Chains A and B, each alone.
Chain A
Amino acid sequence: NAGVTQTPKFRILKIGQSMTLQCTQDMNHNYMYWYRQDPGMGLKLIYYSVGAGITDKGEVPNGYNVSRSTTEDFPLRLELAAPSQTSVYFCASNPTGSVEKLFFGSGTQLSVL
């Protein structure tokens, strides 16, 4: 019973490089989310999706892109990485959004140097 799986767990990027953070869930959840968590801070919503082919911006979308071609996968793309994107990234999902609880992955720790 895998739940929400994120890869990689750790990554170091140089300024200007690009990468994709992978997220997959095996619970057939329609809603998926990407959050970032800076040290000592709460989680900030980057993007979310209510189903395959539908995505929308959260609080802090600049510098990121997402796609949702299947129910299971919700990759997060960083273009032209900047030091301000150094953070821990969490993917989450739930069945129908709204007041349902979120199921989180274990996170990706990203450093941009």
Chain B
Amino acid sequence: EDQVTQSPEALRLQEGESSSLNCSYTVSGLRGLFWYRQDPGKGPEFLFTLYSAGEEKEKERLKATLTKKESFLHITAPKPEDSATYLCAVLPSSSASKIIFGSGTRLSIRP
């Protein structure tokens, strides 16, 4: 069964304290892996798509990486405005459109 697991469930960091969020996945084949950011009371907002192992993408303080079994979202010197829930999702090769979401990591950055 296709599955996406994110860890930790919640993470509290001090401003400037770098860390990583993990997304492990089990799929028969991967067409794409997505990272989204979700603020309270809002819909998810797209961050990155990764397609193959070894690929990396960056946006401001965020960097996403991909291996054959997992993806990491690295946050460098975070600021309080980076506080949000970060969702990982995968599109299996067996599916045309059925994206599978993980349960997310709630990130809180203290000033």
Contacts and interface: CB of A to CB of B under 8 A. Distances in A.
22 contacts: A4-B43, A33-B97, A40-B103, A41-B103, A42-B4, A42-B89, A42-B102, A44-B101, A50-B97, A58-B98, A59-B98, A98-B32, A98-B96, A99-B31, A102-B46, A103-B46, A104-B43, A104-B44, A105-B43, A106-B41, A107-B41, A107-B43
B42 interface: yes
Interface string B39-77: 001111110010100000000000000000000000000
A52 to B, nearest CB: 16
B31 A98 contact: yes
Interface residues of B, number: 26
A33 B46 CA distance: 15
B57 to A, nearest CB: 12
Interface in B74-104: 87, 89, 91, 96-104
Contacts of B4: 42
Contacts of A58: 98
Interface string A13-33: 000000000000000000101
A59 B98 CA distance: 8
Contacts, number: 62
Interface of B: 4, 9, 31-32, 34, 36, 41-46, 49, 51, 87, 89, 91, 96-104
B43 A106 contact: yes
Given A97-B96, A98-B31, A99-B31, A104 B101 contact: no
A37 B91 CA distance: 18
A33 B44 CA distance: 13
B103 A92 contact: no
Contacts of B98: 45, 48, 58-59
Interface of A: 4, 31, 33, 35, 40-45, 48, 50, 58-59, 90, 92, 97-99, 101-107
Given A98-B31, A103-B46, 6 more contacts: A43-B44, A44-B101, A50-B96, A92-B43, A98-B32, A99-B49
